[in-house]
Amino acid sequence: MVSKSRWKLLAMLALVLVVMVWYSISREDRYIELFYFPIPEKKEPCLQGEAESKASKLFGNYSRDQPIFLRLEDYFWVKTPSAYELPYGTKGSEDLLLRVLAITSSSIPKNIQRLNNAPVAGYEGDVGSKTTMRLFYPESAHFDPKVENNPDTLLVLVAFKAMDFHWIETILSDKKRVRKGFWKQPPLIWDVNPKQIRILNPFFMEIAADKLLSLPMQQPRKIKQKPTTGLLAITLALHLCDLVHIAGFGYPDAYNKKQTIHYYEQITLKSMAGSGHNVSQEALAIKRMLEMGAIKNLTSF
């Protein structure tokens, strides 16, 4: 009898325990239902002129009258004078540039949606699936541009040196390829439509260097400092858009040479030693823009 009573007691305890667990779970579900329901995403209104008003404080003599892309008419009929050599101007490269502009275009998309120089294939969930304008230079050009771009993506050349104009001309005109003068071999075969190519106005490189990084325009050739294409893209966006968001920006500690610099590859900060880019200085510039509300960040920084 004692043994049966003990079993009954254990069975009752087990039943009570099951009920308590069920009650606890049901309350927890209710708690989640009440307090952790998904919040509908709020669409941020795009106020006309919002970025422009903030950018004017950054860039001083701010103007949207500058052409975004270099135009043939500015170099064909009248040679536009430039005070600086590349990457801050076109001084000394006008004849070579003229040949490039003759086979490319300078029109602007009606709807500027996204500027980017990083790959999107395989990362769509984090960085989106469409690139309107891809800023690139020969060494960063993807060997198969159709993999990373939409059919209507504009490929915008950021020229750091005269050899960059020479490279794009040989590619588009199918001339003898250039193999020297680059820190990394650019593509020798590049399947693109010349009408998708644009040449970025060096004005934006000048503004980014001068106003955001306080770099001198006249520098010794061997140690010339310059902005990254990422900071350049932000500068361009602030001259184009009413609202500027950034995503994926983050600068590693300057002392951590093993830290990767891009989300899509394993290249470390050590590889930037001779690039002329000051990542610490750029991080401070972006932080300043975020604090004043000129740009807004979609990811951690």
* Cβ density class 90-123: b for 16+ within 10 Å, e for less: beebeebbbebbeebbbeeeeeeebbbbbbbeee
Identify the bridge partners of residue 134 per DSSP, sorted by sequence position: 116, 155
234 three-class SS: helix
Hey, what amino acid is at 16? V
pLDDT digits 0-9 by tens, 43-99: 666 677 777 888 888 888 788 888 999 999 888 876 667 889 999 999 999 999 999
The mean per-residue pLDDT over the stretch 259-278 comes to 73
Ranges 1-5, 91-95, 119-123, 125-129: which has the least confidence: 1-5
Average pLDDT of span 88-114: 87
Percentage of the chain lying above the pLDDT 90 cut: 41
Strands of the 154-157 sheet, one edge to the other: 115-116, 133-136, 154-157, 197-199
Res 24: pLDDT: 40
Band (pLDDT 50/70/90 cuts) for residue 23 is very low
pLDDT tens for each residue of 133-170 = 999 999 999 888 888 788 888 999 999 999 999 999 99
Give yes or no for a contact between 231 and 286, defined as CB atoms under 8 angstroms apart.
yes
Q: Between residues 227 and 10, which one has the greater pLDDT?
A: 227
High-pLDDT (> 70) share of the chain, %: 74
pLDDT reported for residue 135: 94
Q: Is residue 235 over pLDDT 90?
A: yes
Helix, coil or strand: residue 52: helix
d(CA 87, CA 103): 21
Q: What is the pTM of this model?
A: 0.78
Q: What pLDDT score does 45 carry? A: 67
3-state secondary structure 173-215: HCCCCCCCCCCCCCCCCCCCCHHHEEEECCHHHHHHHHHHCCC
- Any idea where the domains of the chain sit in the sequence? 67-200
Query: What confidence score (pLDDT) does residue 225 get?
Result: 85
Give kind and range of the element (H or E) at residue 115: strand 115-116
Cα(58)–Cα(257) distance, integer angstroms: 31
pLDDT at position 19 over 50:
no
Which neighbouring-strand residues pair with 154? Answer: 133
- Distance (Å, rounded) from C-alpha 227 to C-alpha 278? 8
Assigned fold of 67-200: sialyltransferase cstii, chain A (3.90.1480)
268, β-bridge pairs: 260
User: The dihedral of CA 178, 170, 69, 82: what is its sign?
Assistant: positive
